[in-house]
Every structure is written in C-alpha cells, then in structure tokens.
Amino acid sequence: MKTFVDVGSVYLHREPVDFRKAIDGLSLIVEQAMGLSVYDSALFVFCNRRRDKLKVLYWDHSGFCLWYKRLEKEKFKWPKKDHREVIALNEEQFDWLLRGFDISRMNAHKSLVFE
C-alpha cells in the first residue's frame, strides 16, 4: 500500500469491527481497545465479520486518512486463532495479507548479518 507517510508499524485489530464506524469510531478503538496512540507513525488495520472488507486508519501529520478495500469474491486470511488482541506486522506481512496470503503460515527468510 502506498501512503504519503513513512509507516513505522502495522497493527491489526484481531476482532471484527462494525464497518459503520468511521475515523472517530476507529480512533477510539485504537486508543481504548488496542492501547495505542492513533498519532503514531503506524497503520491500524480493521476487518469486518465476513472478512471481505478492510479499513486502514493512519495519521499523516495533518489529518487522518482512512483507506478501504472490498473483495468481490474472496476473503482475507485474517488471523482469527491468534490469542493476541493486537497483532503487529511488518510491511511485507501486510502486503501478503492484502494479496490474500495467510500470514500466520508464512515466514520470510531470516536476515543474516555478517561481520
């Protein structure tokens, strides 16, 4: 996902969200349920109960942005069985989620550091 801000982190709210909620309602979930600051350099990702829609909320230092994606035939492979209420992803894992991969089953190669 191309944004106009550098993404520091990506956080998934694991439980489904009522998609009638807009920026203010989702901001409250970030602050109260997720225990995070909505003003961080982060993407906050929410899914509906049917797992065919995503909303992504972020602060771009001048206002809030709300990005929405609706799948026409498929479902997002949402990590339902994870025990954590908030799941942190890197940008690569977020891209995998958007492309339909099950992020709980995928692992990238480990980075190696040689001296």
pLDDT digits (tens, 9 = 90+) for 68-112: 999 999 898 888 776 777 889 888 888 888 888 877 766 666 777
Average per-residue pLDDT for the chain:
86
Q: Is residue 3 part of a domain?
A: no
* Structure confidence at residue 1 as a pLDDT band (50, 70, 90): low
Please return the burial class of 26, using the count of CB atoms within 10 Å of its CB with bins 0-12, 13-18 and 19+. buried
In the chain the beta strands, taken as DSSP E runs, fall at 9-13, 42-47, 53-59, 64-70, 86-89
Q: Over range 21-41, report the average pLDDT.
A: 94
Buried b vs exposed e over 82-102: b needs ≥16 C-beta within 10 Å? eeeebbebeeebbebbeeeee
Domain carrying residue 46:
9-99
Q: Is residue 107 part of a domain?
A: no
Q: Is residue 106 part of a domain?
A: no
Q: Is residue 93 part of a domain?
A: yes
> Does the pLDDT at position 4 exceed 60?
no
pLDDT at site 113: 87
Q: Is residue 108 part of a domain?
A: no
Q: Is residue 109 part of a domain?
A: no
What is the number of domains present in the chain? Answer: 1
Q: Is residue 84 part of a domain?
A: yes
